[in-house]
Structure 1
């Protein structure tokens, strides 16, 4: 997976924010507040995102309604995973990243790690 292009990111931002399927026309109308785009441009971007596996689509009359496959957070986590994997030294990179975190973010990571440890202990105790 690679990062999204500028227009792809703008389209995904709208779909993530709306949290409901949208047509090309709906996305286009919203994007036109910021930039001048053709219907076919937005249709191509949505089709490309669908082909790449980022969107599902469902026929609604004569138009498709598009919906993200993953949440914004899942997408961001995958980008972070790729960055970590391409760093050459996962541990050192992760330690540098953690060093840049806020206190609230560090606390959230601690809670998540404790939760994962509890779950792993429960699973190891099951027959």
Structure 2
């Protein structure tokens, strides 16, 4: 079985986030590739890093002719939150009836999560909100 067949959707992104979290230091695509092993192609790792950067889960800075990547925010939990929020945003953008989708989503929330969502929506606009 190839590594591609063995991964769940988003699995490589989660592995990259975990790798960077464990490192605690910025890493290049080559370093992440070596750490993950499993015969991953350099371009596959670079694509995952680039996508995570686009989702604002990672920050990057030049290191020689490459970039060194590190987790954005406070760590792996913030990076996962950025990825999940990006996925939710893309799903909402792709849907024809956003109102219906959001109504069903909110209707399926437990009371505690709904309270958290209400509190977030009542907060004054902040720079953190997409």
TM-score, with structure 1 as normaliser? 0.60
Partner residue of 1:37 out of 36, 39, 47? 39
Please state whether the residue corresponding to 1:93 is helix, strand or coil: helix
How much is the aligned-residue C-alpha RMSD, in angstroms?
A: 3.4
C-alpha change, 1:19 and 1:96, in structure 2 (3 Å) is farther
Instruction: Give runs of aligned pairs for residues 1-127 of structure 1, distance below 5 A.
Output: 6-15=11-20, 20-23=25-28, 24-26=30-32, 28-29=34-35, 31-32=36-37, 36-37=38-39, 41=41, 43-49=42-48, 52=51, 54=53, 56-59=60-63, 65-68=68-71, 71-116=79-124, 119=125
Number of residues of Structure 1 aligned to a counterpart in Structure 2: 107
TM-score, with structure 2 as normaliser? 0.59
Q: Structure 2 unaligned runs (5+)?
A: 1-8, 74-78
In structure 2, C-alpha distance between the alignment counterparts of 1:15 and 1:77, rounded to whole Å: 20
Q: What's the CA shift for 1:108?
A: 0.6
Indicate conservation of the 8 Å contact 1:22/1:67, yes or no: yes
Q: What's the CA shift for 1:91?
A: 0.6
In structure 1, C-alpha distance between the alignment counterparts of 2:32 and 2:89, rounded to whole Å: 32
Q: Which has the larger radius of gyration?
A: 1
Q: Structure 1 unaligned runs (5+)?
A: 121-127
Worse-superposed segment, 6-15 or 70-79:
6-15
